[in-house]
């Protein structure tokens, strides 16, 4: 009389499953591969949208902002774009601020290759400078 061990997978069953998989897998791969590729593409697109939304940029521009400093890089570029209304009326301040933004952007790019602690410290310093510049921009745009 056969004795039941209570195990669902026995060595004999495992050997049979491997044998069945060897026969079925070659037939299923051509059918499943396109669906897997499409699924990977959809996931990649959703992830790009998520990253673009977090950075506050258009999905088409996601390739411009990568690395540890992507968020700061996008913030600097956005700040530069938001100074447009002041270019004619306050060109001296805009010129000075653009020079500072170029320095901050260079610092963000340089920090990509720094050790973690130094990179984080550099990012904090850049973020603090941007906070001050943004407050000044809002004041100049009469936003309270």
The ranges assigned to domains in the chain are: 11-63, 65-140
pLDDT in tens, 117-130: 999 999 999 999 99
Find out whether 71 and 52 touch, Cβ atoms under 8 Å.
no
58: confidence class by pLDDT, cuts 50, 70, 90 = very high
Other Cβ atoms less than 10 A from the Cβ of 117: the count is: 8
Q: Please give the pLDDT value at position 5.
A: 58
Inter-CA distances, 108 with 10, 73, 114, 125, Å: 57, 7, 10, 10
Summarize the confidence of residues 9-26 as an average pLDDT. 88
Burial-class residue 15 by CB neighbours within 10 Å (0-12, 13-18, 19+): exposed
81 backbone φψ class: left, alpha, beta (φ>0; ψ -120 to 50): alpha
Interval 19-29 mean pLDDT: 87
pLDDT by residue (tens digit) across 91-108? Answer: 899 999 999 999 999 999
pLDDT in tens, 60-100: 999 999 899 999 999 999 999 999 989 888 889 999 999 99
């Amino acid at each position: 009389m056969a004795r039941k061990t209570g195990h669902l997978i026995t060595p004999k069953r495992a050997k049979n499953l491997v044998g069945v998989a060897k026969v079925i897998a070659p037939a299923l791969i051509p059918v499943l591969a396109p669906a897997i590729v499409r699924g990977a593409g959809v996931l990649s697109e959703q992830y790009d949208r998520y990253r673009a939304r977090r950075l506050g940029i258009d999905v088409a521009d996601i390739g411009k902002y990568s690395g540890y400093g992507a968020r700061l890089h996008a913030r600097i570029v956005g700040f530069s774009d938001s100074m447009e209304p002041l270019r004619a009326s306050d060109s001296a301040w805009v010129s000075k601020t653009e020079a500072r933004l170029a320095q901050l952007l260079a610092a963000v790019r340089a920090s990509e290759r720094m050790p973690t602690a130094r990179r984080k410290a550099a990012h904090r310093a850049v973020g603090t400078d941007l906070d001050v510049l943004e407050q000044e921009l809002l004041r100049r745009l009469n936003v309270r």
